[in-house]
Structure formats: C-alpha cells, structure tokens
Amino acid sequence: MKKKSFSMLLTVLLAFSLVLSACGGGEKSKGASSDPTPAPSNSKEEVSAAPEEPTEITIMLPLNTSETPPDTIKKEIEKLTNTKLTYQFFPADTYEEKLNTSFATGSLPQVTYLKNSTTFVQMKEAIKDGQFWEIGPLLSEFPNLNKLKPEILNNTKVDGKLYSLYIGRPLARQGMIYRKDWADKLGLSAPANVDELFEMAKAFTEQDPDGNGQKDTIGIVDRNELVYGAFKTVSSWFGTPNYWGTKDGQLEPEFTFEGYYDTMDFFKKVRESGYMNQDFAATSKTDAVKMFTSGKAGMYIGGSMQDIDSLHKDLIKNVPDAVLDTHSMVAGPDGSFAQWMIPGYNNIVLFPKSAVKDEAELRKILAFFDKMMTPEVSNVMYWGIEGVHYTVVDGKAKPSSEKELIEREVKGYKDSVIGEAETNGMYESYNELPGRIHAEELLLENVKVGVADPTAALDSVTYMEKGVELQQIITDATYQYMYGQIDRAGFEKAVSDWKSRGGDKIIEEFNAAAK
C-alpha cells in the first residue's frame, strides 16, 4: 500500500515538474531565478503570438452629405488598421451646436473633429484649461504622423503646444468658376481685373448669353457666407488683408482697410444693377449651387475651384452643351494680384481627456492615425475601393463615373483624412475636365501671390471669448452696406461698436502676441 501511494505521488510530482518546465524553461535559459513560481514576463511570448485585439475607437465628425454613409469604407479601414470603429456623423449645418452640447455635457468621444477654424478658436480656452490631451511630445514615436508639415502644425498650436492633428488643404483654392461658353459667345475673355469682372457680370445678365430671347440670367450667384462665398475672394483682389493686416506698424482687422470698403461698394453696385441674385445674404450654398447648375448664372466665385467637377456634372444634366472654366488672376485697382490663403488646414481633430483615460489609450488612438497616414489607408478613406470607386491611371486616381455612389459611400470619410498627398502618400487626382486641369495649375499660381493671415498662430483671450459674437456685428453691417441699408458712416459706427465691446482689446492682445 505504501509502495502504491509512493508511486502515485511520484507520478504527480513528475507531471507537475513537466508543467513547470513548459512554463518556466525559457526563462531559466536566460539565467532567471530558479523560483518555481512563473515570473510575469514569462507570458510575453505567448501574448505576442496571439492576434492583437482590435482597438476600439469612437469618432465624431461633421457630415457634408445628406445621408450617413454605409459601412463599406469603414470595414476596409478596420481591416487595415486592426480597429473597431464607431463613427458618429452629424450634419455639418448643425455640427457646431452638437459640438458645443457634447462638450458642455462631457460626452465628447475619444476622437473629436471640429468643424472649421472658427470652432477651433472657440475651443482654445478649453484646450488651455487642460481638457484635451497634448500630443506634440508623442508625435516622434509615430513615423507617419511625424511627416506632418511643421509650418501647418505650428498654425494649430495653442500657447506653443500641439494638441491636434490637421486635415490638410491647398493654401489658396479659391477663384471663380464661370460659363466659358457664354463668354466665348459674347466675345469676352476671363476678366483681367476687377473692372472687367463687373463688365462680365453685366454682359452675362443683359446680353442673353443662353440665347433664349429672355432676360432670365444673372452674372454672379452668391450665398450667405462672407468667407467662403464670393466676398472674401473678391476682397483679396481689391487688396484687402487676410483677416488682419499691418497699418502704421500695428495689426488691424481687415474691415478697417480701404479694400474692404471697395469690395462692399463693388457688390452693392452689382446688386443694385441686378447682376447678381438679390437675396444673396439669405441664399444657402445648396440654393446657390442649384441656381448655377440650372443654367441661370454665369459666375460662381469663392469656395474651391476644384468644385468645378461636381458643378459641371450637374450643369450638363440641364445644359448639355455648357462649358465651364476656372480663373483666379484678377488684378485689383492698382494692377497687383493677391489671393487670401488658409493656414494649410480646413479642420483639426482633438482628443478629450474626458473620453481618453490615459496616455496608453492615447497612444493606441494615435497609432490608428499613424496607420491612416499610409497610402493604403488614406487611399481607401479618400478615394474608396479601387475598381469600385476609382481606378489608377498614370499613377493617379480616376474617380468612377458613379458619382452618386462615391458621394454616398466615400465622401463622409474623405473629409477626415489626416495630412495631404505630400505627407500621407495617397494618390493625386487624375483630371480630364479642362477646367479642372486649369484649376490645379491656378492653385500653384495663387500661392505665388498668396497673403497669409498674420494672426493664424497668435492668441487673444478676448478673441477666444468674444470673437464670434463681435464678428456678427461686422457681418451684419457688411450685408446692410451692400444692401444699401447703411452708408459708410453707418458701417464705421458698427466698427466703433465692435471696438468698444471688446475689439480694441483684441487688437491690443494680437499686437502684444506678435511682439
């Protein structure tokens, strides 16, 4: 009996020693302790051998289409980046309201895209207050994120620190898209200066360019947007600074310069003459586009000249023989050329501390964006699936003729791609439309005469607190002037009101920051 018990005990001990050997043998060969208890590091090889769990990330961003995209592109992104993504799309028109509500209730997700530079300004105080993660010191850990352009990153810094990644855009995309077939019929060339711009608006209105024998066309169609509509682009042609300029050695806001008044006078005259849509201050972008693509307007100014593709597609449905072209080299009264420039981005993304619990989680999220900045992922997000949404021609992406499919499935993700082709390696666009090819050439010309915003990287506490509210004073007065409801004295009164309610403090703070 004792012999049997001893034999059983020996069997158990032998089995146990085999288990220990399997678990700890590897460490012994490295000179580890002979303690039979397995060290925590022993499991590293087993973990690395197993598939890594997908990183779960929730992303909030504005939607510039009428419908939320299906998961077609999202599934491809997840496969390429080993993530499980939840996209929270909200309509761009109401996104600012949603952003503010989510921030106020502490419900922003891990990845929060803003809407534009205005919402970025509004968020700066919260950034300074430590409510978002600083990412600058971590970028060097990620080889692709480290390719982002330093000059653009600098324009998004707050108090010299980097908290955001940027969605890159060409510095100066704006100009005009116009009916070249109308111009050719009337014997007009692209306007060389602002006087010829007025004359083209007049001819497109009065000389029956569509040949139907009726006075049913207008020269310029504009919308209720002073920046991305026609106003700021034409204002730069009149020599107005880009948001801020230098006068007597001091930074002053653009609306205190003579070029701003000249621009208001220009649009006032165009409107009073009937050469543009009379209610442009109340016209949405959608309605302005519809007016242009219906064949009733000759010039669409501002925004991006790259929009010619979509405008042409919709226009030829109504006017099959229509021909569009782009133009941006319009000289001001003094004969010089100028184009206002953006700071190199049209939006940024932030990482709220209320949603990202620690640096380890932040690093996992940044790792996702690092993968986004590879050609494989950025092409899927920007162009879609090769063979379905685009094909490669001469090393460039040629979008499918199924424009509605691209709009529905790809557009929502396209607007969130970090960086630009130079930094993320995605395909450039293959263009066939002559007007679009011309537009790409003009983008390079625009930069040569580009005017930067000197306050892009400067901070003003008062501007952050009151800038949007105070700007409304100027916006309202600008429209009132162009509508003939106030004169120059009335506009100057509005400027005085802007200054007394905080504008003087903004001027003081920007000038102090510049020094």
The CATH number that applies at residue 371 is 3.40.190.10
Q: Are residues 353 and 374 in the same domain?
A: yes
pLDDT recorded at residue 494: 98
Judge whether 203 lies within some domain.
yes
For the chain, residues with pLDDT lower than 70 are 1-50
Domains identified in the chain, total number: 3
Length of the chain, in residues: 515
Q: Are residues 219 and 270 in the same domain?
A: yes
For residue 24, CA distances in Å to 15, 20, 44, 121, 305 come to 14, 6, 12, 57, 66
Q: Are residues 135 and 273 in the same domain?
A: no
The Cα 127–Cα 108 span in angstroms is 14
Q: Are residues 178 and 189 in the same domain?
A: yes
The Cα 321–Cα 431 span in angstroms is 20
pLDDT recorded at residue 49: 55
Query: Under the phi-then-psi rule, with left for phi > 0, alpha for psi from -120 to 50, and beta for the rest, what region is 90?
Result: beta
pLDDT recorded at residue 443: 95
Q: Are residues 418 and 447 in the same domain?
A: no
Q: Are residues 462 and 448 in the same domain?
A: no
Q: Are residues 482 and 500 in the same domain?
A: yes
Q: Are residues 376 and 313 in the same domain?
A: no
- DSSP character at residue 401: S
Judge whether 81 lies within some domain.
yes
Q: Greatest CA separation found in the chain?
A: 120
Place of tokens 């982002």: 148
Judge whether 6 lies within some domain.
no
Judge whether 330 lies within some domain.
yes
Judge whether 444 lies within some domain.
yes
What are the start-end ranges of the E strands in 138-232?
165-168, 176-179, 218-221
* CA 492 to chain centroid: 33
Residue that finishes a domain, picked among 381, 403, 424? 424
Q: Are residues 122 and 77 in the same domain?
A: yes
> What b/e sequence results for 312-347 when a residue is b if at least 16 CB atoms lie within 10 Å of its CB, and e otherwise?
beebeeeeeebbbbbbbbbbbeeeebbbbbbbbbbb
Q: Are residues 192 and 117 in the same domain?
A: no
Judge whether 14 lies within some domain.
no
Q: Are residues 141 and 107 in the same domain?
A: yes
Q: Are residues 414 and 497 in the same domain?
A: no
- Determine the structural domain holding residue 296 and report its residue range: 174-340+437-455
Contact 511, 251 (CB under 8 A): yes
Secondary element (H or E) of residue 55: strand 55-63
Judge whether 23 lies within some domain.
no
Judge whether 432 lies within some domain.
no
User: Which of helix, strand or coil describes residue 307?
Assistant: helix
